[in-house]
């Protein structure tokens, strides 16, 4: 016996992290959370209490994008971070090697709806500039430390998405 560990190494972009079953579990959990959030107005599924958020939960919103291929509305539950009138989102997908579908949808069509509790707001989403991300990232990691681990587990730069009010009447603002 050579003494070598027969298990494959894990680390940055470990292919097992993006295995179809992992993505499938995420999709099922996302659908269940979205359903519970909608029927309860966010009382169920409205906060994340896993990992570094166990003692201090992080709020969850529902983000609705337009599918870049289907043209159909796509809704996902995401951790969100209020920042004045803006809502900050992190396209971490738990540090998986590929960007989440919702993020790719935002790049194709930035018109989104953000639901917090029962309040829905029409917003425009955009990726933070490198300078904005450099300023926001430490604040986001301070609020949810697992983001740092997710970034360490992937070679992609995890995008920060900034959602801003559109001036639509649903957003509670004019012009």
Stated pTM of the model: 0.81
Mean pLDDT across the chain, nearest whole number? Answer: 85
CATH of 15-170, one of 2.30.110.10, 2.60.40.1180, 3.40.50.150, 2.40.160.50: 2.30.110.10
Of 114 and 50, the structure prediction assigns the larger pLDDT to: 114
Strands 160-165 and 86-90: antiparallel
pLDDT tens per residue across span 124-173: 999 999 999 999 999 999 999 999 999 999 999 999 999 999 974 444 43
Q: Where are the domains of the chain?
A: 15-170
Structure confidence by residue, pLDDT tens digits, 88-114:
999 999 898 899 999 999 999 999 999
CA 34 to CA 61: how far, in whole Å?
9
């Amino acid at each position: 016996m050579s003494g070598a560990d027969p298990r494959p190494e894990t680390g940055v972009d470990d292919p097992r992290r993006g295995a179809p079953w992992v993505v499938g579990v995420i999709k099922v959990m996302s659908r269940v959370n979205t359903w519970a959030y909608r029927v309860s107005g966010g009382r169920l599924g409205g906060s994340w209490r896993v990992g570094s958020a166990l003692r201090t939960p992080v709020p969850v919103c529902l983000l609705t994008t337009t599918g870049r291929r289907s043209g159909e509305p796509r809704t996902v539950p995401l951790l969100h971070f209020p920042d004045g009138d803006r809502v900050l989102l992190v396209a971490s997908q738990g540090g998986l090697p590929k960007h989440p579908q919702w993020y790719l949808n935002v790049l194709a069509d930035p018109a989104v709806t953000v639901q917090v509790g029962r309040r829905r707001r029409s917003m425009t989403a955009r990726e933070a500039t490198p300078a904005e991300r450099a300023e926001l990232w430490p604040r986001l990691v301070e609020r949810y430390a697992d983001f740092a681990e997710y970034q360490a587990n992937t070679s992609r730069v995890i995008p920060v998405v900034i959602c801003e009010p559109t001036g639509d009447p649903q957003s509670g603002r004019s012009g």
